Structure 1
Amino acid sequence: MLSLHTPYVLAHNFVNATDASPQAATAVADTHASQPIRFGESADGKDYLLPAEEIVGFNFLLNRFNYHFIDKQVYGTTLQSVRDNLHNKWIVDTDPFAVNQFMHPYQGSVYFGLARSTGLDYWESLGYTFGGSLLWEIAGETGAPSINDLVTTGFGGSFLGEPLFRMASLLLERGGKKPGIWREIGAAAISPSLGFTRLAYGDRFRSVFDSHDPATYTYVRLGWNKVDNLFDAAVSQNVKRNAATMDYHMSYGLPGKDGYTYTRPFDYFDFEFTATTANVFENIMSRGLLVGKDYAAGDNYRGVWGLYGSYDYISPQVFRVSSTAVSLGTTGQWWLSKTVALQGTALVGVGYGAAGTIHGSGERNYHYGATPQALLALRMMFGETANLDLTARSYYVSDVASTENRGTERIFRGDAAFTVRVHGPHAVTLKYNASRRDARYPDLANTHQTVNTLSLLYTYSFGDTRFGAVEWRPADGG
């Protein structure tokens, strides 16, 4: 958006760019030298063969590790087992929930990252992810190939892998032309595929993904939570009612920043991760705009809308749900006053999901099926003082495309968090979470489970004092 002072800014930039004084030349040279080398500026360009070789090598090493340390029968693949799998009917397998719904998507994110880190774009990398998954299903295990693994590894791997790749790349990009050792280590921890490529091939793939400088909001929360209410007599004795907890959250590409565009998949995404001492991974949730467009409504609203991809894994001790989905929806920000803003996302879509109980007596472990789902996430920001987050998620794991044509699961997850800034990036958060499961099967009694938790958390925000509010209004606007 142009304003009255735009001609002055353009003139000022032009004078600086054309200033031939030694001081100006030195400043320009120093600025250029400090900038990272981004994708598209490297002479090496893309490499289509290398990620294929790396994926084959990764699958081989993973198979050998699993054979020696996990299960010789499952991973003792031979030429005969490969030939059998090429002709076997694809099935929906019954591997443990965490293997199918977390390990396979993470394995897919490794395939995806190997392709992305050699310069390939999202869609090209998605093809390599499916190729790696197909190779694993045929030659990585002795059992019949699994269609659910192909979905979670392929689509789930890309929906998880792209945010990991972008977060790691952003950490490197903001470190200048030569990121320090801690940035390199941090990037490798976030995206091991990217870290491996940078370490193994040196300057050949030192170029960093060009983020286009998105508006971001990132925080880490550390603290304690207590199970406030539990309804499930069958598993209550296994529930840890007090636990330490850690949350990480990043919103990337928030709408409203002048000049930022949404031309690539996941130019907007939201990533959330929670770990607790009660059950390690309580949730991993990622959603991003696959194809969409930005829009405006008046002077005080900016947004994006389109097709989103999402991967969710939620496990609040007594039950769990996971889904890989596509949804239609929108994300936007509305300035309600000079200092108060409301951000929000609304999505409705369908995925392939799984849900079930944990430690249940006489009840099935989990159930697969087509999964209609919805999300509403709101964040009210009160200047630099406080913010209120409200999120509701709903999943219906149906009996369509299921492991068996019976039974359904309804899952609801709601969060409310109120954060008050103490000083600078430091804040205190009070959070309440409610999770509910209703399961119906013809040969089992109807099941109702709820678990609610109350958390007191220390919050550290990175690089933002307005809780992610994006400003596009003129300086005297409001």
Structure 2
Amino acid sequence: MKKFFSLFLFLIFISNSLLWAQSSDSDITFSPQAATSSSSGWLHENDGKKHYFTAIGGMLFFNLGLSSYNRWCLGSAWAQTGWNEWGHFWEREMKYDCDWYWTNYVLHPYQGSLYYMSARGSNLNYFESFGVTLLGSAIWEYLCETNAPSTNDMIYTTVGSFAVGEMLYRLSLEADEVSSLLGFAINPMRLWTQGWTRQKPLGTTGNIHELSVKFGGGTTRTHTEIINAPVFEGLYKENEVFPAFGSVMICVVYNDPYGHDSNSPYSQFELDFGASVGAGSGEGADCAYSDIDKNFMYHIRINSNGLLFSRAPKISENIDTTLGLAMEYNFDWHQFYQLSSLGPGLAIKQRLRFEHSDFEWQLHGAWNALGTTDYYYYHRKSLNVLPADVGVFRTYNMTTGPMAVVKMRYINEKGSSINFGFQGYAMYDFYNQLQDDVPASSSGWEWIGLANASAELAVSKSVRIGLSDEVYVKRAFYKKVPDVFQFVNTASAYARLQLK
């Protein structure tokens, strides 16, 4: 009951923030070009009317289609629902689940974003769209699964999907300027909403402030060590080398982060997402795909922050300042570690304009409402040296705690730059996260820092080449299992194609 009450208060906090933001008409306008369709052809001009049945119908249609696919095509045991689940759904107790990391913290936010975009495409505001998402998530958890309703899924399929959904909704409108097919690919729920309303979603285009694609390659060195556990001293010290990898990352800045004054949630956001793949270290996960894990290295990253509302105090003619409430959503799935975070916080963003250069910096202080870290060196066979009662029960911990983000960039008039970034976390691991069969369920604190520095040289108006170095450090203090130290260093070279 306490877990459900805490979840309820967090959702109410986010809902009230969105409602407050929606009530003001002082939103800054960056482009007069409205993303509405003309009256000719099959689509007609958006009349601005709210289509509640279309919004809810899209959510229900998606839930029905996905649950039917899982039940009849895949034959998933957890999808075999019936009157046992439907007849007394309100009596089912919420718990943390142990589903796959990717499913919980990427696929669930994306699933919820489809509910959200169905509502936004039906001309519902942020608060109403959040309500449709909350309803869709509850229907899925209570009526479409035989498993216990999941506490973490309810948070990530609602709050997480608001962050993901609003970004995708806005980017879909921008993509229309390139190709309508690309717009539908980013927001597939437009197939439903435009089919019923015969209207394109409301919004503006021309808001992309920066857009680039990075292509790079590099090498990674890692180290893990169990400490403060004499029985394991010297036995568990792992060093690995991932000799070479290739990577691609898309970086989007939506509207100028500096001097931004708006009450419209996510009218300004920054989004980086990409992946790396390369040669493995020769060590593999203790699973059915151990050989693949030995031979291939992988890394998937999503970093984002969006302003829920902001103010732009005027300090001087050459300083652009933004103060606001932000939402952080980050996801890291490295072959060596896992790290994700989601939560609201305060942000200050400032640009100092000099005669031939700019200096930009940001500081975000947020509360990670629900995040994850890896439990130990979670996927290595050397964990077998630990006795059974240590309780290696999952590949990740669910966490909460404060977090900080720092960004700095010095850029000259030709586009060359020096960049620095840092993400710091104080992660508290929840105790007994649906691990009733584990005799030594643990909790504790994990202190994590992720820092990167890079230098870019502009070789033309649209091409930059750069060198970067990134360091990940983790020091964990557990209560019932040995402590751990982790270190990851990644050096890379890259080329950035500056599309805007």
Q: Is the 8 A contact 2:34 2:203 kept in 1?
A: no
* 1:284 alignment counterpart: 302
* 1:12 alignment counterpart: none
Among 341, 363, 378, the residue aligned to 2:408: 378
Which has the larger displacement, 395-404 or 215-224? 395-404
Instruction: Measure the CA separation in 2 of the matches of 1:69 and 1:281.
Output: 30
1:438 partnered with 2:438: no
| Matching residue's letter, 2:246 | A
Q: CA deviation at 1:457?
A: 1.1
Instruction: Measure the CA separation in 2 of the matches of 1:440 and 1:341.
Output: 41
Q: Secondary structure at the match of 2:262?
A: coil
| Matching residue's letter, 1:210 | T
Among 351, 361, 367, the residue aligned to 1:350: 367
| Matching residue's letter, 2:223 | F
| Residues 164-218 of structure 1: per-residue CA shift (max 9 Å, x gap) | 211221222xx3xxxxxx51122223233345544x34x712255125x546111
1:338 partnered with 2:355: yes
Instruction: Measure the CA separation in 1 of the matches of 2:467 and 2:430.
Output: 39
Q: Is the 8 A contact 2:277 2:298 kept in 1?
A: yes
| Matching residue's letter, 1:60 | L
Q: Is the 8 A contact 1:220 1:248 kept in 2?
A: yes
1:230 partnered with 2:230: no
Equivalent runs, 1:13-92 vs 2, <5 Å: 36-37=35-36, 42-43=46-47, 45-68=49-72, 70=74, 72-92=76-96
Instruction: Measure the CA separation in 2 of the matches of 1:169 and 1:401.
Output: 43
Q: Is the 8 A contact 1:307 1:327 kept in 2?
A: yes
* 1:20 alignment counterpart: none
| Residues 16-49 of structure 1: per-residue CA shift (max 9 Å, x gap) | xxxxxxxxxxxxxxxx9x9742799622632111
| Matching residue's letter, 2:151 | I
| Residues 365-413 of structure 1: per-residue CA shift (max 9 Å, x gap) | 2111322111011121111240122110012221457726622222221
1:462 partnered with 2:499: yes
Q: CA deviation at 1:102?
A: 1.5
Change (3 A) 1:402 1:307: farther
Which has the larger displacement, 384-393 or 117-126? 117-126
Q: Secondary structure at the match of 2:55?
A: helix
| Matching residue's letter, 1:326 | P
Q: Secondary structure at the match of 1:444?
A: coil
Q: Is the 8 A contact 1:56 1:132 kept in 2?
A: yes
Q: Is the 8 A contact 1:82 1:142 kept in 2?
A: no
* 1:424 alignment counterpart: 461
| Matching residue's letter, 1:384 | K
Q: Is the 8 A contact 2:223 2:240 kept in 1?
A: no
* 1:408 alignment counterpart: 445
Q: CA deviation at 1:238?
A: 8.0
Among 129, 140, 143, the residue aligned to 1:139: 143
| Matching residue's letter, 2:90 | L
Q: CA deviation at 1:444?
A: 2.0
Equivalent runs, 1:172-183 vs 2, <5 Å: 172=176, 175=177, 183=179
Among 203, 209, 214, the residue aligned to 1:221: 214
Change (3 A) 1:86 1:35: closer
* 1:185 alignment counterpart: 181
1:104 partnered with 2:108: yes
Q: CA deviation at 1:152?
A: 0.8
Instruction: Measure the CA separation in 2 of the matches of 1:290 and 1:398.
Output: 26
* 1:262 alignment counterpart: 262
Q: Secondary structure at the match of 2:198?
A: helix
Q: Secondary structure at the match of 1:95?
A: coil
Report sequence identity in percent.
Answer: 22
Which has the larger displacement, 100-109 or 404-413? 404-413
Among 223, 226, 249, the residue aligned to 2:251: 249
- Give aligned pairs, total: 416
Change (3 A) 1:263 1:413: same
| Matching residue's letter, 1:220 | V
Structure 1: runs of 5+ lacking an equivalent: 1-31, 176-181, 464-478
Change (3 A) 1:390 1:215: same
Q: Is the 8 A contact 2:442 2:478 kept in 1?
A: no
1:205 partnered with 2:199: yes
* 1:9 alignment counterpart: none
Change (3 A) 1:219 1:236: farther
Which has the larger displacement, 415-424 or 66-75? 66-75
Among 280, 295, 305, the residue aligned to 2:313: 295
Instruction: Measure the CA separation in 2 of the matches of 1:210 and 1:235.
Output: 54
Structure 2: runs of 5+ lacking an equivalent: 1-31, 39-43, 226-235, 279-296, 387-391, 434-440
| Matching residue's letter, 1:383 | E
How does the TM-score come out when normalised to structure 2? 0.77
Q: CA deviation at 1:308?
A: 0.7
| Matching residue's letter, 1:389 | N
Instruction: Measure the CA separation in 2 of the matches of 1:69 and 1:236.
Output: 42
Instruction: Measure the CA separation in 2 of the matches of 1:163 and 1:379.
Output: 24
Change (3 A) 1:83 1:371: farther
Q: Secondary structure at the match of 1:53?
A: helix
Q: Is the 8 A contact 2:223 2:237 kept in 1?
A: no
1:318 partnered with 2:336: yes
How does the TM-score come out when normalised to structure 1? 0.80
| Residues 333-361 of structure 1: per-residue CA shift (max 9 Å, x gap) | 111x2121112221111121111144042
Q: CA deviation at 1:79?
A: 2.0
* 2:230 alignment counterpart: none
Instruction: Measure the CA separation in 1 of the matches of 2:449 and 2:358.
Output: 27
Change (3 A) 1:193 1:371: farther
Instruction: Measure the CA separation in 2 of the matches of 1:120 and 1:391.
Output: 36
Change (3 A) 1:117 1:239: farther
Q: Is the 8 A contact 2:70 2:76 kept in 1?
A: yes
Q: Is the 8 A contact 2:406 2:423 kept in 1?
A: yes
- CA-based RMSD of the aligned residues comes to 2.7
Instruction: Measure the CA separation in 2 of the matches of 1:294 and 1:105.
Output: 30
Q: CA deviation at 1:269?
A: 0.6
Instruction: Measure the CA separation in 1 of the matches of 2:34 and 2:492.
Output: 41
| Residues 315-349 of structure 1: per-residue CA shift (max 9 Å, x gap) | 222111111110112122111x2121112221111
Q: Is the 8 A contact 1:235 1:359 kept in 2?
A: no
Q: Is the 8 A contact 1:272 1:286 kept in 2?
A: yes
Q: Is the 8 A contact 2:37 2:199 kept in 1?
A: no
Q: CA deviation at 1:313?
A: 0.5
Among 122, 125, 129, the residue aligned to 1:121: 125
